[in-house]
Amino acid sequence: MDFLTQNWALLLVALTSGLALLWPVIGKGGGGGLTPTQAVQLINREKAVVIDVCEPGEFAAGHITGARNVPLAELEARLPQVVKNKAVPVILACQSGMRSGRAVAVARKLGYDKAQNLSGGLRAWQAAQMPLEKA
C-alpha cells in the first residue's frame, strides 16, 4: 500500500496508457464494422448486398460498385422492398461510416441480423483503393 501512495503518478500513467490502448475497441462498441477487404470478401463469398444510405446527390457522385441507394431517412420503409431475403448479409455504407452505423441499428430492428457497417465508409473504401462507380 505504501508503494501506491508514493507512486500514484506512475499508477495514473499506467492506467491512462491502458485506457488509450483500449479506446479503439471501446469507442466502436466492441468491434466496429467491416474493413473494405472484409466487405469485398463478404460480397464475393456470401453475395452480400451493399446499401448506400447517402442522399441521392452523394450517391451519384460516387458509390461502391453494385450498391443500391436507400437514404437513411427512408431505410425503415424501403429496405424490406430492396432486400427481401433477411438471411442475406447486408453491408451498409455512407461517406464516413457514421450514418451507416445508425442504419445498422435500423436494419437489425427490421430483422436483418447479418447487417454490418462499412467502417470508415467510402473514405476508407477509397483509401483502400477499391473501385467506385458514378451514376
CATH number of the domain that residue 59 is part of? 3.40.250.10
Do 14 and 56 lie in a common domain? Answer: no
| 54 counts as catalytic | no
pLDDT tens digits, one per residue of 2-12: 777 888 888 78
Residues 72 and 48 in one domain: yes
- The pLDDT-based confidence of 19 (bands split at 50, 70, 90) is confident
Residues 40 and 14 in one domain: no
Q: Which of 16-20, 32-36, 122-126 has the lowest mean pLDDT?
A: 16-20
89 with 109, same domain? yes
pTM of the model: 0.76
**Could you list the residue range(s) of the whole structural domain that residue 5 is in?**
1-27
C-alpha cell at 115: 447487417
Q: Give the span between the Cα atoms of 16 and 98, in whole angstroms.
A: 27
Rounded Cα distance, 9 and 70, in Å = 52
CB atoms within 10 A of CB 8: 10
Is residue 9 domain-shared with residue 72, that is, in the same domain? no
Contact between 58 and 80 (Cβ < 8 Å): no
Phi/psi at 116 (nearest 5 deg)? -140, 155
Mean pLDDT (whole number) for 8-23: 77
Task: State yes or no: pLDDT of 32 exceeds 90.
Answer: no
Q: Which residue from 76, 80, 91 is spatially nearest to 33, judged by alpha carbons?
A: 91
Q: CB neighbours (10 Å) of residue 74?
A: 12
To the nearest whole number, what is the mean pLDDT of the chain?
89
**65 and 44, same structural domain?**
yes
Q: Which residues of 39-70 are buried (b: 16+ CB within 10 A; e: fewer)?
A: bbebbeeeebbbbbbbbeebbeebbbeebebb
Please check whether residues 61 and 126 belong to one and the same domain: yes
Q: How far apart are CA 122 and CA 132, in angstroms?
A: 9
124 and 65, same structural domain? yes
Provide the pLDDT for residue 15.
Answer: 81
**What would the pLDDT profile of 38-57 be if each residue is shown by its tens digit?**
999 999 999 999 999 999 99
Predicted pLDDT of residue 87: 95
**What span, in angstroms and rounded, lies between the C-alpha atoms of 52 and 70?**
6
| pLDDT tens column, 97-120 | 999 999 999 999 999 999 999 999
- The residue annotated as part of the active site, out of 54, 90, 94, 115, is 94
